[in-house]
Amino acid sequence: MWDNQTIMMIVEGTGVTLYMTLVSTLIAYLLGLPMGIALVVMAPGGLKPNKVIYKILDVVVNIVRSIPFLILLMLIIPFTRFVVGRSYGATATIVPLSLAAAPFVARLVESSLLEVDHGVIEAAQSMGASLWNIIWKVLLAEARTSLIVGATIALGTILGYSAMAGVVGGGGLGDIAIRYGYYRWQFDIMIVTVILLVGLVQILQVLGTKLSKKLDRRITG
């Protein structure tokens, strides 16, 4: 049973899982980062309060976050087909993954940016900094460790979601686990994929924590 073909399949599955996770996280950040920034900047009492946009963003983020991922995955199949041309496979899975993760990322970014000391923002304002300067050089730069910790959490969560997409033929380790482990009762393959998934999350977590610590200048000694 553990012939070259099976091993190749698992190695390939690991690659596909990483591909889905990394690309989806990237897209989720492209969408979620601006949303998170907007949530902070436009909040009541923020740098540029805007009740309407803030409320809309807030509600949209909450709605998308409250839809279970599997349901969202199926709900947006027409959209996925429209974007990628088909609704199954790794690349198609990236669409719902990114969309589901974006609001989550927005909240992570929001909470990181809210940690930035208000006094430092005020100091930048007192120097005549523009809104863009404050976002870029104060909010994002000062919150960078927290943002990296957040990104690590996002990666782990998206990796987990990507495995879930296996149910509908999403590709990757989750797909293998369901097809071989669940439908064919090949428990050994299931266990190997689970170990690999756990291992991947571990590695990402360790790397993320290390990076954030390395970049943090608030710790002395």
Partner 1 sequence: METMIQIKDVTKTFVGKDNSVEALKGINLEVHKGEIYGIIGMSGAGKSTLVRCLNFLERPTSGTVLIEGKDLSEMKDSELRKMRTQVAMIFQHFNLLMQRTVIDNICFPMEITKKPKYEAYERAKELLEIVGLSEKAKAYPAQLSGGQKQRVAIARALANNPKILLCDEATSALDPTTTKAILALLKEINQKYGITIVIITHEMSVVQEICSHVAIIDEGTLAETGTVEEVFQRPRSRAAKKLVIQGDTTPKMEMKGRRCIRIVFSSNSSYEPVIANMVLTCKTPVNILLADTRDIGGVAHGQMILQLPEDRETAEKMVQYLKNRKLEVEELDNYVG
Q: Which residues bind partner 1 (CB under 8 A)?
A: 117, 119-120, 122-130, 133, 137-138, 141-142, 144-145, 215-220
Least distance from C-beta 151 to partner 1, angstroms? Answer: 16
Alpha-carbon span 112 to 139, nearest angstrom: 9
Nearer to partner 1, 74 or 123 (CB): 123
Least distance from C-beta 43 to partner 1, angstroms? Answer: 16
The label of the residue with tokens 């279970």 reads 68
Nearer to partner 1, 53 or 140 (CB): 140
- Which CA distances in Å does 92 have to 14, 25, 113? 17, 14, 32
Q: Which of 201, 202, 44 is nearest to 114 (CA)?
A: 44
Nearer to partner 1, 185 or 217 (CB): 217
Alpha-carbon span 104 to 102, nearest angstrom: 5
Least distance from C-beta 33 to partner 1, angstroms? Answer: 18
Least distance from C-beta 106 to partner 1, angstroms? Answer: 22
Encoding tokens for residue 105?
């990322």
Give the 3-state secondary structure of residue 68. Answer: coil
Nearer to partner 1, 125 or 186 (CB): 125
Number of alpha carbons in the 13 Å side-chain half-sphere of residue 23 = 15
Least distance from C-beta 3 to partner 1, angstroms? Answer: 52
For residue 115, which amino acid is it?
A: E
Q: Which of 154, 199, 155, 151 is nearest to 173 (CA)?
A: 199
Could you tell me the end-to-end alpha-carbon distance of the chain, in angstroms, rounded to an integer?
A: 54
For residue 10, which amino acid is it?
A: I
Nearer to partner 1, 52 or 219 (CB): 219
Alpha-carbon span 208 to 105, nearest angstrom: 16
Give the 3-state secondary structure of residue 169. Answer: coil
Nearer to partner 1, 11 or 120 (CB): 120
Least distance from C-beta 112 to partner 1, angstroms? Answer: 13
Give the 3-state secondary structure of residue 116. Answer: coil
Nearer to partner 1, 97 or 149 (CB): 149
Least distance from C-beta 190 to partner 1, angstroms? Answer: 44
